[in-house]
A and B are shown apart, each in its own frame.
Chain A
Amino acid sequence: MNASSTSPSPAPTGDRTPTPHPTRTSAPSAGTPEPLLGAVGMARPRIEGTAKVTGAVRYSSDEPMGDLAHGWAVTSTVTRGRIRDLDTSAALTMPGVLGVIDHRNAPRLDLEAGSFFGPDGGMHLLQTDEIPHSGRPVALVVAETAEQARSAARALRVTYDEEPCDVDFSLDHPAARPATSFIGADATVGDVDTELAASAVVVDARYVTPETHGAAMEPHSATAWWEDGRLQIVDSNQGPFLVAMTVAALFRLDPKQVRVRSPHVGGGFGSKSGGCGPQLVLAVMATAMFDRPVRVTLTRSQVFQTVSMRPTTDQRVRIGSDADGRLRAIDHTAAFEVSKLADYLENCTELTNTLYAARAIRTRRSAVPVDILPPYSVRGPGATPGSFALESAMDEVAERLHMDPLELRLRNEPSAGPVSGLPFSRRNLTACLREGARRFGWATRDHRPRTGREGHLLVGTGMAATSFGAGALPSTASITAETDGAFTVAIGASDIGTGARTALTAVAAEALRVPPERIRLLIADSDLGPAWGAGGSRGTTSWSWAITEAAAKLRSRPGGATLPLTVSFDTTESLGELPLMERHSYSAVFCEATVDPATGEVRVRRLLGMFAVGRVINPLLARSQLVGGMIMGLSMALHEEGVRDPATGRHLNTDFAGYHIAAHADVPDIEADFVPDYEPGDPSGIKGVGEIGTVGTAAAIANAVWHATGHRRRTLPIRPDHLVEERPLP
Chain B
Amino acid sequence: MKEFGYLRPSQVREALALVAADDGARFLGGGTNLVDLMKDGIETPTRLVDVRRLPLDGIREAPDRGLVIGATTTNSDLAAHPEVRRRYPALSQAVLAGASGQLRNMATVGGNLLQRTRCGYFADPSQPCNKRSPGSGCSAITGEHHNHAILGWSDHCVATHPSDMTVALAAYDAVVHYETPDGSHEIPLSGFYLPVGESPQRETVLPPGALITAVTLPAAAAGPRARYRKVRERASYAFANVSVAAALDVEEGVVRGVRIALGGLASRPWRALVAESALRDAPATADRFGDAADAELSAARPLRDNAYKVTLARNLIVAVLTELAHRAE
Contacts and interface: CB of A to CB of B under 8 A. Distances in A.
A601 B41 CA distance: 35
B315 interface: yes
A639 B312 contact: no
Nearest to B236: A665
Interface in B126-153: 126-127, 139, 142-144, 146
Interface stretch (A175-183, A649-657, A691-699): A649-657
Contact of B319 (A301, A598, A665): A598
A77 interface: yes
B238 interface: yes
Interface in B113-172: 118, 120-121, 123-124, 126-127, 139, 142-144, 146
Given A301-B40, A663-B234, A643 B144 contact: yes
Interface in B304-318: 306, 308-309, 311-312, 315-316, 318
B315 A647 contact: no
A647 B139 contact: yes
A453 B127 CA distance: 46
Interface in A712-728: 717, 719-721, 724-726, 728
A648 B236 contact: no
Given A603-B235, A658-B120, A720 B241 contact: yes
Contacts of A648: 127, 139
Interface string B296-329: 0000000000101101100110110000000000
Interface string B247-272: 00000000000000000000000000
B1 to A, nearest CB: 6
Interface residues of A, number: 40
A652 B120 contact: yes
Interface string A134-175: 000000000000010011001000000000000000000000
A8 interface: no
B233 interface: yes
A724 B233 contact: no
B6 interface: no
Given A639-B234, A646-B144, A665-B235, A150 B1 contact: yes
B235 A598 contact: no
B311 A719 contact: no
Contact of B236 (A644, A645, A664, A726): A664
A601 B212 CA distance: 36
A724 B120 contact: no
Contact of B1 (A147, A644, A721): A147
B3 interface: yes
Contact of B127 (A150, A645, A720): A645
Contacts of B1: 147, 150-151, 154
A724 B311 contact: yes
B315 A728 contact: yes
Contacts of A600: 231, 308, 312
Contact of A647 (B142, B311, B316, B318): B142
B234 A151 contact: no
A603 B231 CA distance: 12
B308 A663 contact: no
A638 B319 contact: no
A720 B126 contact: no
B3 A151 contact: yes
Q: Which of B146, B234, B315 neighbours the largest number of chain A CB atoms within 10 Å of its CB?
A: B234
A668 to B, nearest CB: 10
A650 B124 CA distance: 9
Contact of B234 (A150, A655, A665, A726): A665
A639 B235 CA distance: 10
A201 B115 CA distance: 55
A666 interface: yes
Nearest to A662: B234
B236 A660 contact: no
Given A150-B1, A658-B118, A720-B312, A652 B144 contact: yes
A456 interface: yes
Given A151-B1, A598-B319, A721 B241 contact: yes
Contacts of B123: 655, 658
B118 to A, nearest CB: 7
Contacts of A726: 311
A599 interface: yes
Contact of A456 (B41, B124, B308, B319): B319
B319 A601 contact: no
Contacts of B308: 600, 720-721, 724
Interface in B62-78: none
Contacts of A663: 234-238
B315 A660 contact: no
A178 B146 CA distance: 34
A647 B241 CA distance: 24
A646 B143 contact: yes
Interface string B217-248: 00000000000000111111111010000000
B235 A599 contact: no
B236 A599 contact: no
B315 A724 contact: yes
A599 B233 CA distance: 11
B144 A660 contact: no
B212 to A, nearest CB: 24
Nearest to A639: B234
B128 to A, nearest CB: 10
Given A657-B239, A666-B234, 12 more contacts: A77-B127, A600-B308, A638-B233, A639-B233, A653-B120, A657-B238, A658-B123, A660-B234, A665-B236, A721-B241, A721-B308, A721-B312
Interface of A: 77, 147, 150-151, 154, 301, 456, 598-601, 603, 638-639, 643-648, 650, 652-653, 655, 657-658, 660, 662-666, 717, 719-721, 724-726, 728
15 contacts: A77-B127, A456-B319, A600-B308, A601-B231, A639-B233, A643-B144, A650-B127, A655-B123, A657-B237, A658-B118, A663-B236, A663-B237, A666-B235, A721-B309, A728-B319
Q: When A and B form their complex, which 5 residue pairs have the shortest distance between CB atoms, in order from nearest? A: A652-B120, A77-B126, A665-B235, A598-B315, A721-B308
